[in-house]
Amino acid sequence: MNESHVSGHVNRLAGEEISWVGESPWTGGLCLGTYSGRLIMPVDERTAVGFDHPIANGAINDVAFAGNLMGVSTRSEVVVFERVPSSVHFARRGEPFGGGSHGIVATAAGGFVAPLGPDGLLLIEAKEGPDRHLKMRVGQIGQEVVNCYKLARLGVEGIRGEVIACAARHEGLLFFSLDRGEVQPTIVRLVLPGFDLVDVCSLRSPQWPLAAAALGTDGSVFLSRNILEVAPDSLRLDVLTGRAYSLLSARGHLFLLTSDGMVVVNDLAKQFLASGTLGDYVHVSGSTILMQAADAFLADDEVFFDCEGGTPSIAIDRLVGNIQNSQSPILPGSFEGSMATDSVNTGVISASSRILPIHLDRSSADWASAPISRGSAAIR
């Protein structure tokens, strides 16, 4: 196996450990959650929109944006914030939900859904009108205990409406649709005996809005072009070692994070979407990035890693081998809007965010990378 190196950056936020990375549609730049419960949106390396204190109890494990609302989840609570009109600032909306969630996704109706493990789903709806209150409900799936672990918003299709996928650990994969924030009665459950499903993601195909991929802890990947109508094909990469943690899909590629590193499988989603099947065998190409990380995130055409001592990020193009030496921008840092700090919205119950001084360092780094030999995937 020929080992080479892949270049990227290590991002460090002074005084904080970054626990989550995503994009903020409000600032047009990154959004960072921290292990201390802070959330900041860097404007550049020295300033950010945010609070100088924790906004949630515990490490932020997910953030979702729905219009002018932002949902933030930790293992201890779920908190909703609202953007101050004509501003990049935000303030808390309503009281937090006092239970933890594994994550949170935004819905087309402008609300959120959060997986509460065996307690089911938290549905958050933002009411319009003079009171503008938040409606939070916990819904169980059927009569049995289903361990709702990770959610992914797939797409909107025909009469089904908006379809959400749920990786439910040993209980398989669940699919439910939402109509104006309400879970529709028909819930599809795909039982996969012997597999512990810990992640699910959309394949982000406009042509196949219900195309999804799911991940088992043993590294098995399940793929379907229309998860509600076609049973998924599955494969397991021989090169994959360690416990599988998370699965990402972007630009037709798949990124599998395990306790030993990240396996990048070039074009697998693209090829699968084109043919609808993995066939009797599959030729895969890609690489393994040797990096121990607790989590991985897609943001701003980069994959970010939750690692000890900093937050590495590698451009997607570089991960899939399309570029060797180009320079990434320091930060995607521009935003529009005024700096208003007053909030008079009914339902907003805290002071709004402000411009903070920060120290965000971004230094270059290399990681060992080994190519995946062709044909090293076993199809079940």
Partner 1 sequence: MATGESAGLVHPVQTANHQYQYLFHPKHHGRGGPREAQWSKELRRDQEFAVFDLADIHDLLDGKGHLYGLRLAPNREILELGTLGQQVAMFPRARPDEPWHGYPLSPLRRVSPPHPEERDVPTEVLRRMVERGLLNEIERRRLEKGRRA
Joined together, the tokens standing for residue 108 give 């087309």
The CA R_g of the chain, rounded to the nearest whole Å, is: 20
- Which of 4, 86, 186, 259 binds partner 1 (CB under 8 A)? It is 259
Nearer to partner 1, 117 or 321 (CB): 117
Binding mask 260-299 for partner 1 (x = CB under 8 A): --------------------------------xxxx----
Q: Which residue spans within 84-232 are E strands per DSSP?
A: 90-92, 105-106, 112-115, 121-126, 134-139, 150-157, 161-167, 173-179, 182-183, 188-190, 197-202, 212-216, 221-224
**Phi-psi region for residue 181, left (φ > 0), alpha (ψ -120 to 50) or beta?**
left
- Which of 34, 87, 101, 177 binds partner 1 (CB under 8 A)? It is 101
Q: Which of residues 215-254 bind partner 1 (CB under 8 A)?
A: 217, 243, 245
Nearer to partner 1, 168 or 250 (CB): 168
- Which of 68, 76, 271, 350 binds partner 1 (CB under 8 A)? It is 76
Q: Is residue 376 at the binding interface for partner 1, with CB under 8 A as the rule? A: no
Nearer to partner 1, 149 or 272 (CB): 149
Alpha-carbon distance of 341 to 306, in angstroms, equals 32
Nearer to partner 1, 216 or 333 (CB): 216
Alpha-carbon distance of 248 to 254, in angstroms, equals 6
- Which of 30, 59, 121, 262 binds partner 1 (CB under 8 A)? It is 59
> Which residues, 6+ apart, have CB-to-CB distance to 193 below 8 Å?
none
Scanning the structure block, which residue is given the tokens 């809005």? 209
- If binding means CB under 8 A, how many residues of this protein chain bind partner 1? 39
Q: Are 80 and 69 in contact (CB under 8 A)?
A: yes
The contact set with partner 1 (CB under 8 A) reads 19, 35, 58-59, 61, 74-77, 97-102, 116-119, 138, 144-145, 147, 149, 169-170, 196, 198, 217, 243, 245, 259, 292-295, 306-308
